[in-house]
Structures are given as C-alpha cells and as structure tokens.
C-alpha cells in the first residue's frame, strides 16, 4: 500500500467509520499529531484514539473526504473536506444539531507504513460560524477592528 493509499485508509476507516482499533496498525507508537488551531500536540496511539472518539462523539456521522493529495518521499499532503452533524458535546460546546462542512489540510509523515508525525490545520472560524457560535456581524466587526484605517 502506498503512503497516499494508507493516508486515505486512515481518513476512511478511522476518522469516518470510527474504527479506532486500526490506530496501532496505522500509527507509530511514538506518533505526534499537531493541531495548531487548538495549540495541541497529541502523542502516541492512545491520544489519537481519544481524539477520534471525542470528535465522533460530537459529530457521530463525521466523515473525512480526501479531495487532493500530493506525496513526496515520506510525506503526504491532503486537502480534506470534513462534514458531520453536531449531535454531541464537542470541545465543551453543547450540541447544536447543525450540519457543518469544514476544509482541512493534513500533512502526514510515514515510516514503515505507519504515520510517525502529522499536522492538521482546519478552518476553526468556519466551524464556529456554521455552528452559530459567532454571528457574521461580530466576525466582520472583529476583523475590521484589526485592519488599520
């Protein structure tokens, strides 16, 4: 299996279908996942499992669709569309029952057919907006306040 195929398998099986028992098979025991939007570094397969379970608790129908992939040497970069319905508590947010579609860029490094490190950058502002947690006017006002006149 190529690194690109393995990357898609992770999105399809683990994140979209919740098959967290595959994590030790697809992730190195010392894997590190960085999420700059949450200032978080997850270390080890068990922390990845908890992350996926938390995500799927908040969005039980969560699905990741790999749209574009570029691979070079041991790295794979993937543009992903994430979608689901906010039916459970996620990151302290009570369920809104709203459907969301959020883009994400994921960079994964592979060694011996396992992810050794990854970084996921996703549209947090877009997620919050779709969940109705910050009205468009407030976002506009916040942005306008930061631009010099």
In a domain, 14, yes or no: yes
The distance of Cα 77 from the centroid of its chain, to the nearest Å, equals 13
Range of the domain at 57: 3-123
> CATH code at 79?
3.10.450.50
Q: Is 92 in a helix, a strand, or coil?
A: coil
pTM score, two decimals? Answer: 0.86
Whether residue 68 is contained in a domain is answered as yes
What residue has token string 């910050």? 134
Tally of structural domains, the chain? 1
Could you report the per-residue pLDDT of 50-86, keeping only the tens digit for each? 999 999 999 999 999 999 999 999 999 999 999 999 9
Range 91-96, long-range pairs (CB < 8 A, 24+ positions): 91/38, 91/58, 93/58, 93/131, 93/133, 95/58, 96/131, 96/132, 96/133
């Amino acid at each position: 299996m190529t690194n690109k195929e393995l990357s898609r398998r992770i999105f399809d099986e683990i994140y979209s279908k919740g098959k967290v028992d595959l994590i030790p098979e697809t992730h190195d025991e010392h894997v590190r996942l960085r999420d700059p939007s949450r200032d978080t570094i997850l270390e080890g397969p068990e922390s990845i499992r908890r992350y996926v379970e938390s995500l799927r608790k908040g969005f039980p129908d969560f699905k990741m669709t790999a749209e574009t992939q570029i691979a070079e040497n041991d790295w794979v970069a993937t543009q992903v569309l994430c979608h689901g319905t906010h039916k459970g508590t996620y990151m302290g947010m009570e369920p809104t029952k709203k459907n969301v579609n959020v883009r994400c860029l994921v960079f994964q490094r592979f060694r011996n057919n396992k992810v050794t490190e990854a970084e996921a950058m996703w549209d947090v502002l877009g997620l919050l907006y779709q969940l109705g947690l910050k009205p468009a006017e407030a976002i506009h006002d916040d942005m306008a306040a930061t631009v010099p006149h």
